[in-house]
Amino acid sequence: MHHRFSEPMKRWSEGTNNYTAGDFPAKGSVEYYSQLADHDKIFRGRRLSDSGDERLTFSDGNSSFRISSLGFLHYTTISLGTPGQKFVVALDTGSDLFWVPCDCSRCASIDNTAYNSDFKLSIYNPTRSSTNQKISCNHSMCTNRHQCLGSELFNTCPYSVSYVSPQTSSSGILMEDILHLETEDSDGEIVDAFVTFGCGQVQSGSFLDIAAPNGLFGLGFEKISVPSILSREGYTADSFSMCFGHDGTGRISFGDKGSLDQEVTPFNVDSIHPTYNVTITQLRVGSSIIDSSFTALFDSGTSFTYLTDPHYKRLTQKFHTQTKDSRHPTEQRIPFEYCYDMSYDANTSLIPSMSLTMKGEGQFFIYDPVIIISTNHEVVYCLAVIRSAEWNIIGQNFMTGYRIVFDREELVLGWKKSDCYQIEDLTELSSKSLNPNNVLPAVAAGLQDHHERIRNTGVTSGGLTFYGKKNATALVPNEGKIVCD
């Protein structure tokens, strides 16, 4: 091998009559490094070098939006296949597989629904995409090849993903197709990336009527997730960010490593099944500091925050002792234990503030620790934390007001205060994310078999659970309240 500006290359170039003085600048000169830098840019344009700070998002835009009637989760619009077919998918950092309804035996209806008029919903048809490919049983993404039984299944890899909510799952076969993306620079270059996804032929449980009826976009660590594929193929750095605005709008950006002034804390990486798990060393409620160390999963597929005892008990008791309002009687339909009566002219600034101290001493202030509920001509507010028997989960309500960076390359979680605004689409999104006429929502949370994941054809079990409609709550627009049915 010879350096492009080496003496052997210079002699060869002179012999071919291709040599000019400017082609071989003096080593160490400005011209020398300038030409090397220009050469790097050319290679970067071909995606042959490190992706650096290149950011990608979906071709329909980087906006996400909370849909109250569909589990309070954040959704975004994607385009899949050639020509592109549109889907409104839930964004879930608690699971890995990206799947959409496809060749359905049992899927959620996309016709005559409360949300169909607002969004373009589809059922993926493999025959309508000229770039579709099935994943064979000997493909690297199909890890459980023993499930490929019989001649009919030999050429296709089945998958089955189970979620926490009772009888909630998705199953079908794995496929590859083009996911249409776009660079986030001023040029807005279109990038078509082949990704592996689930052709979800059979959905059950909450996927049929409450949440993610048009697909789930897993953002986890496993190699089958889209962030893993994009970084592995050299499209972006191995990092992405999600922003959760107070008004229900948000952002998602692949390759985003955040900023130098963001707070960070390391991930606790399990080599068998890595997740976005971090260590919390202290809780602060009002004027009280609670030395309570535990690990928790940052999960965008969970609407509210879940804590196990003794951490749940310590936090809620400190909150209760510093709350001046009368405690509201427990109601079975409300999933929160600590609720308080509040008059319409009450000063919400009297509600105890809350923050988490992360490993590394970073402070994570909770901007929305409570939700306001209107029921039976009463107004109550509840600490939006639920007691959990097994897992500590930081849900979307605690992430509100932040841009959260999931840096898988540096193995750190980053956060910085952000309102997520981009003026051009606020009007459109706000009307969709807070629609009181939609079907009632479900509360989302949890990971099935968090410590011992069930593996089916290389796809791990996911991170959503939902209360039934009788326990559901619905967000009222412009008032920040929740109405219980």
Q: Which residues are catalytic?
A: 92, 299
393 burial type by CB count under 10 A (0-12 exposed, 13-18 middle, 19+ buried):
buried
Helices (H), 16-94: 30-45
- Strand pairing class (378-383; 370-375): antiparallel
Nearest to 418 by CA among 181, 240, 221, 249: 249
Phi-psi region at 319: left, alpha or beta (left = phi > 0; alpha = psi -120 to 50): alpha
Phi-psi region at 481: left, alpha or beta (left = phi > 0; alpha = psi -120 to 50): beta
Q: Measured between alpha carbons, how far is 47 from 43 in angstroms, rounded to an integer?
A: 6
Query: What are the φ/ψ torsions at residue 111 (nearest 5 degrees)?
Result: -105, 145
Most distant pair of Cα atoms in the chain: their distance: 92
Q: In 3-state terms, what secondary structure has residue 234?
A: coil
Residue that the structure tokens 């594929």 belong to: 229
Q: Measured between alpha carbons, how far is 350 from 430 in angstroms, rounded to an integer?
A: 28
Q: Are 169 and 43 in contact (CB under 8 A)?
A: no
Q: Are 209 and 126 in contact (CB under 8 A)?
A: no
The structure tokens listed for 306 are 């879940």
